[in-house]
């Protein structure tokens, strides 16, 4: 049995080995970015090691990640064509599209034509060379927002990403779609897997609005193992509105980590919905900060967990100003011997009077040996608030199942219908109809592929 000291040493060596791989980073002559990366490298070395005694990592099997030898991939489009990409992996959306293959921008697969004035959408690599002054503030400000080992590592070594800047009063007519297609094309003799690190910055200026869709996809081959670390920083100015949808259906061998940092000004509105289906280990963190009053934040999510999967959502919504509203609703379907983690926290500061916050997490267990760790939290220091939280873990309702079967519906179909009904109120918060239908279909395909409709899979 490996001791705690050995685990810590293994983790320390893992980060040191990754930091030694800096020859494939974006090259530039920008002083502030060179200094930013240097400071981040120092932070990686000085920040505490991660372990399951820390509350944020209590239920995560993080030690498994450090057993892998991840390396940065070479820049390549992997030979993919538009037909292969969109016919097999993505929803048929009308959108402005940026495609990244293993963390590198694939111009030939992207579509940014007909963007009008007041809108900047490009890769971070292009933005660094063409408009470095627009990025300097966000990088330096963002550096103060997050202080943990993985975000610092992303600061130091991101490959590329997306820069979105919407000018005052501008409204985008189609969504911006960001596609991350990850595939392990490692050719080294020691079978090292890909380390993919992407970084996004989204600025919405006063009174602007846009819809952003992120798709994390990959082929489902047995040897497609990689680690994708993604950081997204979002700045919403007064009166701006962002609809943000995220679809994660990656290889069952992959490791996925998303960290989202949202800063909101007065009367801004952030609306997000996520569907997580894939990955061996997939963790998503939302950190939302109301910097000014009368802001609104809606976070919705659905996760489906099968055999040998761990899917984890962490929320940290900070009400630090008065008259702000937040809604956090997440649901999970566990259909195999896997683990789901939900850790949601709402902080209401003493100055945040008249805050309105609701946090719920509901889980549906379809097998006896699945595991759910759920911890919704309210931390309230103000006395004039309207806040609530709750969680449930249960099975399919036998009476509902009997009712459907008594109407001539086969048991397998009845079970599937109840699962779809359980997920419906989350899906209805995806306001893009094309994407919503695709996500509903993706969930159904996942459940069908793993024999969820079979009565043998269900505990009684």
In the DSSP assignment, the letter for residue 266 is: T
CB environment 55-78: b (16+ within 10 A), e (fewer)? ebbebbebbebbeeebbbbeeebb
DSSP string of 330-348, one letter each residue? EEEEE-SS-EEEEEEEEEE
What is the model's pLDDT at position 188? 44
Per-residue pLDDT of the chain (460 residues; tens, 9 = 90+): 677 788 889 999 999 999 988 655 556 667 788 888 888 899 999 999 998 888 888 888 888 899 998 988 877 655 666 656 666 567 788 899 999 999 999 998 899 988 888 999 999 989 988 888 778 777 766 666 667 899 999 999 998 999 999 999 999 999 999 999 988 754 444 567 899 999 999 999 999 999 999 999 987 666 789 999 999 999 999 999 999 999 999 999 999 999 999 999 999 999 999 999 999 999 999 999 999 999 999 999 999 999 999 999 999 999 999 999 999 999 999 999 999 999 999 999 999 999 999 999 999 999 999 999 999 999 999 999 999 999 999 988 787 877 677 787 877 778 888 899 999 999 999 999 999 999 999 999 998 887 665 544 444 4
| Partners of 201 in beta bridges | 163, 233
Residue with structure tokens 């697969």? 109
Sheet with 296-305, side-by-side order of all strands: 104-105, 96-101, 176-181, 209-217, 241-249, 269-276, 296-305, 325-334, 356-365, 386-394
Backbone angles phi, psi at 190, to 5 degrees: -95, 15
Distance CA 264, CA 352 (A): 14
In the DSSP assignment, the letter for residue 27 is: P
Q: Copy the structure tokens of residue 331.
A: 């649901």
Range of the domain at 216: 4-457
Task: Answer positive or negative: Cα dihedral of 360, 333, 298, 216.
Answer: positive
What is the model's pLDDT at position 26? 59
The total number of structural domains that make up the chain:
1
Strands (E), 113-240: 119-123, 162-166, 176-181, 193-204, 209-217, 226-236
Distance CA 396, CA 415 (A): 8
Summarize pLDDT for 330-339 with one digit per residue, the tens. Answer: 999 999 999 9
Class of residue 384 by CB neighbours under 10 A (exposed 0-12, middle 13-18, buried 19+): exposed
Summarize pLDDT for 140-153 with one digit per residue, the tens. Answer: 666 666 678 999 99
Quick one: how many helices (H) and strands (E) in the chain? 9, 20
């Amino acid at each position: 049995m490996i001791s705690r000291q050995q685990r810590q040493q293994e983790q320390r060596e893992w980060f040191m080995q990754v930091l030694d791989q800096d020859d494939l980073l974006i090259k530039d002559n920008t002083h502030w970015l060179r200094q930013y990366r240097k400071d981040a490298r120092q932070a990686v070395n000085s920040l505490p090691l991660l372990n399951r005694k820390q509350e944020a990592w209590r239920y995560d099997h993080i030690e498994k990640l450090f057993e892998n030898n991840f390396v940065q991939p070479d820049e390549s489009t992997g030979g993919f064509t538009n037909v292969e990409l969109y016919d097999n992996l993505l929803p048929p959306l009308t959108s402005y599209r940026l495609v990244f293959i293993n963390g590198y921008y694939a111009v030939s697969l992207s579509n940014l034509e007909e963007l009008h004035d007041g809108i900047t959408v490009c890769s971070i690599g292009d933005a660094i060379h063409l408009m470095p002054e627009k990025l300097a503030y966000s990088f330096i400000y963002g550096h103060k927002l997050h202080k943990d080992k993985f975000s610092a590592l992303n600061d130091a070594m991101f490959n590329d990403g997306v820069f979105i800047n919407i000018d005052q009063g501008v409204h985008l007519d189609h969504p911006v779609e960001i596609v991350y297609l990850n595939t392990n094309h490692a050719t080294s003799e020691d079978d090292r897997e890909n380390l993919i690190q992407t970084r996004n910055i989204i600025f919405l200026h006063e009174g602007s609005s846009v819809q952003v869709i992120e798709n994390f996809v990959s082929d489902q081959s047995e040897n497609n193992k990689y680690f994708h670390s993604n950081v997204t920083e979002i700045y919403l100015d007064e009166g701006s509105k962002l609809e943000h949808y995220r679809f994660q259906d990656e290889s069952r061998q992959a490791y996925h980590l998303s960290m989202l940092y949202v800063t909101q000004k007065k009367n801004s509105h952030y609306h997000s919905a996520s569907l997580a289906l894939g990955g061996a280990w997939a963790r998503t963190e939302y950190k939302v900060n109301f910097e000014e009053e009368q802001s609104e934040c809606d976070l919705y999510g659905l996760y489906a967990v099968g055999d040998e999967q761990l899917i984890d959502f962490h929320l940290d919504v900070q009400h630090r100003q008065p008259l702000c509203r937040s809604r956090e609703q997440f649901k999970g379907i566990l259909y195999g011997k896997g683990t789901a983690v939900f850790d949601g926290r709402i902080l209401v500061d003493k100055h945040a009077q008249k805050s309105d916050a609701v946090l719920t997490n509901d889980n549906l267990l379809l097998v006896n040996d699945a595991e759910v760790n759920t911890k919704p939290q309210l931390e309230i220091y103000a006395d004039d608030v309207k806040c609530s939280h709750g969680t449930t873990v249960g099975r399919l309702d036998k009476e509902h199942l009997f009712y459907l079967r008594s109407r001539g519906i086969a048991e397998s179909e009845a079970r599937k219908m109840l699962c779809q009904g359980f997920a419906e109120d989350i899906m209805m918060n995806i306001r893009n109809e094309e994407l919503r239908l695709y996500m509903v279909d993706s969930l159904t395909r996942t459940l069908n592929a793993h024999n969820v409709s079979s009565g043998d899979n269900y505990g009684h």
